[in-house]
Chains A and B, each alone.
Chain A
Amino acid sequence: MTSDKQVLNSSLDKVMLINNLCKSFGDRHILINFNLELIRGESVVVLGKSGSGKSVLIKCVIGLLRPDKGSIKIFGKNIPDLNHDELDQVRAKIGFLFQSNALYDSMTVRENLEFPLRRHWIEVSQEEVDKMVEDALEDVGLRHTIDMMPVELSGGMRKRVALARTLILKPEIILYDEPTTGLDTITSKEIIELMIEIQEKYNTSSLIISHDMNCVRMASDRVVMLMDGRCYANDTYENLIKSEDPKIKMFFE
């Protein structure tokens, strides 16, 4: 299935293309000439140890961090070159699921979901907003929590609400930052299944940052291994698991 897709889309539908990305904080070189491409409908997992620069990568992609060198092209636009308004336009098409969910504590679930909607499409009517909020919550199966505060929800529910919030803008790319961190095995499995379901339903591309092997196994079309700031391996899960390279084997044991 994966290979079919790759052939089908070949070079014409690369939604994201990262070239020679470098980022360092002082003397610490986090990313060194990192390359990555993401094709429409594809799901790529970036695998790496803690502190290997996975989060830095994803923050560069969304424009929260500015890379030192290199280009990040999303829908053909180089993120570091964009001004604020252009960046917002691109961001409206990208969903970002934060590691800590980043639900606004002072707002109800409804307000949390309304927030990005109102920010990006100011002319939407109240009825449409209500409908979109309800639909997004329906997708994650948490319709009943609509008027609750984030603190009243469990960890898994919060993750789902956060996912609903990223979905509400119907993004073309979803960036997942450690989606299963802090969740128990069963809940994380549910979340991964939900991710796959959403991807199929809306035909989105996903860039998943993770070190959770379950996540890698279930959700990935392709795995990119990030090691010492460089792209160490770039292959399917099935191929990597057969690899004899000790550094790769380290992850799959």
Chain B
Amino acid sequence: MSLRSDFTAFLNGNGELFSFSLRFFRHGLNPPFEFAEFIKQCYVIGYKSLPLIGLTAFIMGIVLTMQLRPSMADYGVESQLPAIVAIAVVREVGPVITALIFAGKIGSSIGAELGSMKVTEQIDAMEVSGTNPFKYLVVTRVLACTLMLPVLVMLGDAISLYGAYLGVNIHTNTSFNLFWTQVFDNLVFGDVLPAFIKSFFFGFAVGIIGCYKGYNSSRGTEGVGLSANSAVVVSSVMIFIIDLLAVQVTNIFDY
């Protein structure tokens, strides 16, 4: 019985999230556009996340290189290390790790911010002040997430690859030029473009789930914490689901 009601609640949540997304498109595509707020959110969501994303990406690049080296050496293809790391970073590790960190930082902050705005009636106050809070709060944030995450992913990839370059140089002496030649020689459009496109979806998922959880936060400070928490959990799971779908789709297109 409880299982059934849980399942019903799950489906209900899905349905609400879906209609929330539809609402985003309905409001987002109609003027007026909150351009100034959008730029501000881009700054907060994109630029301010760069140090964190950069650090994790850098460490990821080094660690991945060091972890792969022994196996590569066993197969006698240590010289292919830059190529394999580049493919791993650009195709999968870069977008997913960046998106997860992004979900942790931005998803929770959006969930908490909108949650507390909801609880302290700030959202109502906006509505009363002649502002469409959905446009002002949700559309700007979701759009900022959707557009900023791909940028962060690209920068994260670049930093990761630089980390990989240092990682390669711990044991062998590879010149900067050789490293990048090997990286670019082994990448194809099919590595870069699907990863770039799926990062838009990751960004959208983080933004819309954070906003949904915050916007529908129940009353009280406990509700705020809960919405921040579930925003991170749900958007992290969502990232993996989207990743799974993305790999299927890219395989269909034979990349």
A→B interface (CB under 8 Å): 59, 62, 64, 84, 88, 91-92, 94, 96, 98-106, 115-116, 119-120
Contact = CB atoms under 8 A, between A and B. Distances in A.
A62 B128 contact: yes
Contacts of A103: 122
A133 to B, nearest CB: 14
Given A120-B129, A120-B130, 6 more contacts: A88-B130, A92-B130, A98-B120, A102-B122, A105-B122, A119-B130
Contacts of A62: 128
20 contacts: A59-B124, A88-B130, A91-B128, A96-B125, A98-B121, A98-B124, A98-B125, A99-B121, A100-B119, A100-B121, A102-B124, A105-B116, A105-B117, A105-B122, A106-B113, A115-B129, A115-B131, A116-B129, A116-B130, A119-B131
B16 interface: no
B224 to A, nearest CB: 12
A88 B130 CA distance: 5
B45 to A, nearest CB: 13
B128 A64 contact: yes
A14 B126 CA distance: 27
A120 B128 CA distance: 10
Interface residues of chain B: helix, strand, loop or mixed (majority): helix
Interface string B97-131: 00000000000000001001101111011111111
Contacts of B113: 106
Contacts of B132: 84
Contacts of B125: 96, 98, 102, 104
Interface residues of B, number: 16
A100 B113 CA distance: 16
Contacts of A116: 128-130
Nearest to B123: A102
B122 A104 contact: yes
A84 B135 CA distance: 13
A66 B124 CA distance: 14
A96 B128 contact: yes
Contacts of A101: 120
A116 B124 CA distance: 12
Nearest to B40: A106
Give the 3 A-B CB pairs with smallest separation, nearest first. Answer: A102-B125, A116-B129, A102-B121
Nearest to A64: B124
Contacts of B119: 100
Contacts of A100: 119-121
B127 A102 contact: no
Contacts of A64: 124, 127-128
B123 to A, nearest CB: 8
A91 B121 contact: no
Contact of B120 (A91, A102, A115): A102
A235 B183 CA distance: 83
B129 A119 contact: yes
B214 to A, nearest CB: 13
Interface string B209-250: 000000000000000000000000000000000000000000
A104 B131 CA distance: 13
A100 B121 CA distance: 7
B130 A91 contact: yes
Contacts of A99: 121
B244 to A, nearest CB: 36
Interface in B14-58: none
B222 to A, nearest CB: 16
A55 to B, nearest CB: 10
A62 B119 CA distance: 18
Nearest to B125: A102
A76 B119 CA distance: 32
A59 B116 CA distance: 19
B129 to A, nearest CB: 4
A86 to B, nearest CB: 12
A32 to B, nearest CB: 24
Contacts of A88: 130
Contacts of A102: 120-122, 124-125
A88 B129 CA distance: 8
A98 B124 CA distance: 9
A64 B128 CA distance: 8
B134 to A, nearest CB: 11
A122 B122 CA distance: 21
